[in-house]
Amino acid sequence: MSRRSVVAAGLAVVGSYAALRSPPAQVWDRRAGVALSRPLGRTGDAVISAGTDLGSVYAIAGVSAVLAASGRRRAALDVLGAGAVGWTVAQAVKPLVKRPRPYEAHGAFRLVAEPAGASWPSGHVAVAAAMAAAVAPAMSPAGRVGAAVSTAFVSVSRIYVGVHYLTDVVAGVGLGVLSARAWGAARRAVSRRA
């Protein structure tokens, strides 16, 4: 993972937090939520509501299991580790910020079960971005594009289902990339000692 991507991830987290504290930015944040949650009908709602869990802890387990079963044990471990770090960091930050979710603060329509914790940052997006960033170095260019598209889908889906703002998902992407970097550094340090 390049230094540029780490710097960009850090700026995403800091910038989204700054926007969270800016009333004019919050107006744009709510407008983005309205624009990205236009109804797609029953089938679209069902697909997006199910697909949003590509950023859940169940996805960490599922993707890791598939990678391990296909003989990619190191990639499986990286997905498991980076995803767990991303989820843990996001859950640790939520109580510090205590941002209400869109359906609580602005009456957005919620399409999924009520999530635990505050809105900022998005844990699902942090998990999706961490998993994608962890496996990207070992993937083909097409695979990296697929991982990025998956992260983008989870990001937009969290807004669509009414549980996050745009700034929440931007922070989630940043935290996910930083989590993958932290996991990779920790794994390499342990490997060197062993």
Query: Per-residue confidence at 104, pLDDT binned at 50, 70, 90?
Result: very high
Query: Per-residue confidence at 130, pLDDT binned at 50, 70, 90?
Result: very high
- 160 near 48, Cβ under 8 Å? yes
Query: Per-residue confidence at 154, pLDDT binned at 50, 70, 90?
Result: very high
Positive or negative torsion for Cα 64, 129, 171, 187: positive
Q: Is the pLDDT at 1 greater than 80, yes or no?
A: no
Q: Is the pLDDT at 194 greater than 80, yes or no?
A: no
Taking residues 111-128, report their average pLDDT. 95
Residue range 3-193 forms a domain whose CATH class is: mainly alpha
Positive or negative torsion for Cα 96, 97, 103, 104: positive
The residues, ordered by sequence, that sit 6+ positions from 67 with a Cβ below 8 Å of its Cβ are: 73, 75, 76, 79, 135
How is 153-186 classified by DSSP, letter by letter?
HHHHHHHHTTS--HHHHHHHHHHHHHHHHHHHHH
Q: Is 164 left (phi over 0), alpha (psi -120 to 50) or beta?
A: beta
User: Domain locations in the chain?
Assistant: 3-193
- Global pTM? 0.95
Confidence at residue 177, expressed as pLDDT on a 0 to 100 scale: 97
pLDDT in tens, 66-88: 999 999 999 999 999 999 999 99
Confidence at residue 18, expressed as pLDDT on a 0 to 100 scale: 96
Nearest to 108 by CA among 43, 51, 166, 24: 166
**How far is Cα 44 from Cα 8, in angstroms, rounded to an integer?**
32
Taking residues 20-40, report their average pLDDT. 91
Using the 8-state DSSP alphabet, how is residue 68 labeled?
H
C-beta neighbour count of 149 within 10 angstroms: 11
